[in-house]
Amino acid sequence: ESGEMKRALANRDIRLLGLAFACFTLVTVSIGTYYPTYLNVTLGYSLGRAALISSIAMLMILFSAPMAGWISDRIGSRRLVFSLPFLVLGFLLLFPFRVTGWQIIAVIVVQGLVGGFIPTAAFTAAPELMRKPQLAGMGLAVVLVGQNLGQLLGPIVFGQFVSHIGWIYAGYLLIPVCLVGFISGWLVRIR
């Protein structure tokens, strides 16, 4: 059983999926953590309004996550559904610290709609990548390690970026993280 566990952890594809998910959470948690502060400090929104606007992304995921599962099953590809949204997220990072008014809500809505795709497809792909039902938990554990690394490092790194180079360029520096997420996701050998 120990040898089987080592082989499971040596699975290149599950590690790539874990890396992709780390990139996803690093980006989304960075923006989610700091966007209310940006809206409050830079644009003068009240804390309550800033938090409400930022939470719209999570509200959109209530719709996009089931839609992502349906699309993934319909087109028969997990890889497309957890890889391609990284390109959209990377593109969206050009805007959150440059837009004002209704455009803020538009960017947040699109971010939320795209944000439901990656976790849905990644959590569905993890057990499939492990190839044995009894190793599904180990596959999900690897993805969750990636999630927790992203959640831990994202706000720390992004906060440092903001304090040294400002909001706009800190947002731009998350774009390469999206590209790493796309590439690592695209390299996962799964349908």
pLDDT tens digit at each of 191 positions of the chain: 677 778 778 899 999 999 999 999 999 999 999 999 999 999 999 999 999 999 999 999 999 999 999 999 999 899 999 999 999 999 999 999 999 999 999 999 999 999 999 999 999 999 999 988 888 999 999 999 999 999 999 999 999 999 999 999 999 999 999 999 999 999 999 98
**Which pLDDT belongs to residue 7?**
75
**Which pLDDT belongs to residue 119?**
96
Closest of 18, 53, 11, 22 to residue 35, by C-alpha: 53
Helix, coil or strand: residue 56: helix
**Which pLDDT belongs to residue 134?**
87
**Which pLDDT belongs to residue 133?**
87
| Angle 177-178-184 from CA coordinates, rounded to 5° | 90
Q: Which token pair is 100? A: 């004002």
Rounded Cα distance between 32 and 157, Å, is: 14
**Which pLDDT belongs to residue 17?**
97
Q: pTM of the prediction?
A: 0.94
- The 10 Å Cβ neighbour count of residue 10 is 9
**Which pLDDT belongs to residue 8?**
74
Please say whether the beta carbons of 97 and 168 come within 8 A: yes
